[in-house]
Structure 1
């Protein structure tokens, strides 16, 4: 096992062999079902279910649970008034998705309302409805249901889910590899060369890197999940030492909460057993809602986190230095820089033009260009 403790000191497990029955069955989205599984596996430790009112209000006001433990992104179940009343009366409620069987039981403890504007402002730093997180919050039902969950039936395997790892599995894998220091890398994009440089730079002073792409709901124009995963497999197979990198998928939706989501990402990776997490420029950002290094600056408010962030400036290729570098190490003017931009990469791919080797490894470029629809509609 790695030396780092889970967030809150104990790895939560809400898996059970009991049947997922209840007096009432409620259908939830696939993304919310993923988060119920994340609760059960301890990825969201110390949460044992959906937030109580006291915890929810504390997260919104302070970015911490009522116990004062850091927590910045509310994990909640929203329902309409009629469903809320039925759930409160039922007590134990079975959860299912539209296409799947009952997979979990929610032990209803309380039902409460919430302020959508205040929640948006706190979590996303804005109430602008053009922000995808704000738009989702404003479209939520009026009532939230708090209570612990018990998870009973996992969904069937698919080509992507087979890469999903629980904290128990990652901690064992890190231990088996002999790693004491593990750097997490969060991503929602295929790996351009700058990402590779960030990861490999961290490997010069740490035992291993845990590449943990986020699989789940994303905004239109983001890369599709299968493209992201296949691209990372191609990069790791061709450019990484076999004993220095582990690939595992994280199944949850992007919130685009910028700095608040950076803390959330760090907490999840601590639960996986990572000692560090790379926080780069505009981590978990969208548009121009956050300053480029806001996600790094917020960590000064969370010095009680056990996992330690690693801050990097943006990397680029310098034709004068003849290497990938950054502003801290390169003295040359922008005319020598090959900037590596996700926006630029998407534009080239949309135009059917393969990005240069200064942006994408050829093996990664081949994967992306081989997909007819590499982006989310």
Structure 2
């Protein structure tokens, strides 16, 4: 496609995904790209339509588009991604982009990408959006289950560990339906999105009631990175129709403090504005005295008896090829991750498997993850200790 065409602009996958969220109403009541006046008002008041709103929805494409200088009000521009038309925008106005001011497309002003000098406002349309497909699928499930109490969890699950399982079960017990928003990893050593979605779905299918849980993937979207603005998560949850949002007390950006002996967070205002209940869970640990996963609030034993579910450290072990104990991560999850990180690690893996482990007398080809699972089973064997 010729970029010189006056009726086309290029966008990237990230912008396409964020535009899809806006269009589907998952980032608040505003479903258009804001003009200069609206953007200035959000920056000044922190609100839109009397609801808390952290960033203006002002759009300055990151990919260089020379034709933006000549864009006029009333013009329709096709949105192009990888040489395909994926939508359009009807231009209401064009205004100067202040790169020092945040927007939903550039929430971290410390990272100044080579974005356009102009912002575009107006109504727009997105074609064939995975966000829309997931939303519609959820709405159908919600109707079929007549779900009223819907709880949201937003996490990168990088990796999925036992404390996450504890949160899942606690949440499912207290809701008609649970929505799990899977977000991109923000650390440099984070696992890729496809792998995370694969092991999350495998775990849900094997160990959770699938008729009461829905996995909503948010691929190619970095605005939820590191949970720096948990207000966005409450807006996201409410936009899908959730009535509760569950976050952990160690949630980055939560700003937790006490006022008159009552816990307060920056989410309190979002909770009131969007009529969504925010539940802050304590940290979950494994206590070697209780011999189970407990919360730090309910366990009477000291921290020297606690094993902590530190995602970064577990990830370091896995990337080093070390299998975490099953008290931290389920064997199926560890086996899948290691098999993806170290494909064909052992040239003679089949021989090793047959020479170490019992078989039913039939030589069968074993996948890498089956080898790791069997090895983990032996790590759990205690009668020789």
Larger Rg: 2
| 1:95-134 to 2 correspondences below 5 Å | 95-97=79-81, 99-119=82-102, 133-134=108-109
Instruction: Give SS of 2:273's match.
Output: coil
Matched, 1:154 2:152: no
Aligned residues: 328
Distance 1:363 1:240, change over 3 A: same
Retained in 2: the 8 A contact 1:106–1:150?
yes
What TM-score does the superposition give when structure 1 sets the normalisation length? 0.77
Map residues 328-343 of structure 1 onto 2, 5 A cutoff. Answer: 328-343=297-312
Query: Looking at both structures, which has the greater relative contact order when contacts are Cα pairs under 8 Å and sequence separation is at least 6?
Result: 1
Aligned with 2:180: secondary structure? strand
* Whole-angstrom CA distance in 1 between matches of 2:40 and 2:232: 17
Q: Which residue is equivalent to 1:4?
A: none
Q: Does 1:53 align with 2:36?
A: yes
User: Does the CA contact (< 8 Å) of 1:279 and 1:296 recur in 2?
Assistant: no
Cα displacement (A) at 1:258: 6.1
Go from structure 1 to structure 2 and tell me whether the alpha carbon gap of 1:116 and 1:257 turns closer, same or farther (over 3 Å shift): farther
Cα deviation for residue 282 of structure 1 reads 4.5
Contact 2:256 2:264 in 1 (8 A): yes
1:314 to 265, 268, 283: 283
Alignment of 1:76-87 (within 5 A): 76-79=58-61, 82-87=66-71
C-alpha deviations, 1:320-344, integer Å up to 9, x for none? 1122112211111112111001111
How far apart, CA to CA, are the structure 2 residues paired with 1:262 and 1:205? 22
The TM-score, its normalising length taken from structure 2, stands at 0.76
Aligned in 2, Cα 1:259/1:242: closer, same or farther, shift over 3 Å? closer
Distance 1:334 1:232 in 2: 29
Which of residues 223, 231, 251 is equivalent to 2:199? Answer: 231
Contact conserved, 1:72 with 1:260, CA < 8 A, in 2? no
1:213 counterpart residue number: 182
Q: Contact conserved, 1:108 with 1:148, CA < 8 A, in 2?
A: yes
Aligned-pair distance for 1:170? 1.3
Offset of residue 257 of structure 1: 6.5
**Is the CA contact (8 Å cut-off) linking 2:6 and 2:67 kept in structure 1?**
no
Alignment of 1:243-258 (within 5 A): 243-255=211-223
1:296/1:236 Cα in 2 relative to 1: closer, same or farther (>3 Å)? farther
Deviation of 1:139 (Å): 4.3
Alpha carbon RMSD of aligned pairs, Å? Answer: 2.9
Aligned in 2, Cα 1:340/1:164: closer, same or farther, shift over 3 Å? farther
Question: Which residue number corresponds to residue 361 of structure 2?
Answer: none
Deviation at 1:251, TM superposition (A): 3.6
User: 2:140, 2:234 → 1: CA distance?
Assistant: 19
SS at structure 2 position matched to 1:144: strand
Q: Cα gap change, 1:258/1:35 in structure 2, threshold over 3 Å: closer, same or farther? A: same
- Shift, 1:84, TM fit: 3.1
Equivalent in the alignment of 2:376:
none
Using the alignment, how far apart are the partners of 1:309 and 1:233 within structure 2? 25
1:36 is matched with 19
Secondary structure at the residue paired with 2:231?
helix
Q: Given that residues 59 and 119 in structure 2 are in contact (C-alpha distance below 8 angstroms), is that contact kept between their aligned partners in structure 1?
A: yes
> What SS does structure 2 have at the residue aligned with 1:237?
helix
- Cα–Cα, structure 1 residues 256 and 264, in superposed 2: closer, same or farther, change >3 Å? closer
In structure 2, the partner of 1:141 is: 116
2:199–2:336 Cα contact (<8 Å) kept: yes
1:68 corresponds to which residue?
Answer: 50
Gaps of 5+ in 2: 258-262, 344-385
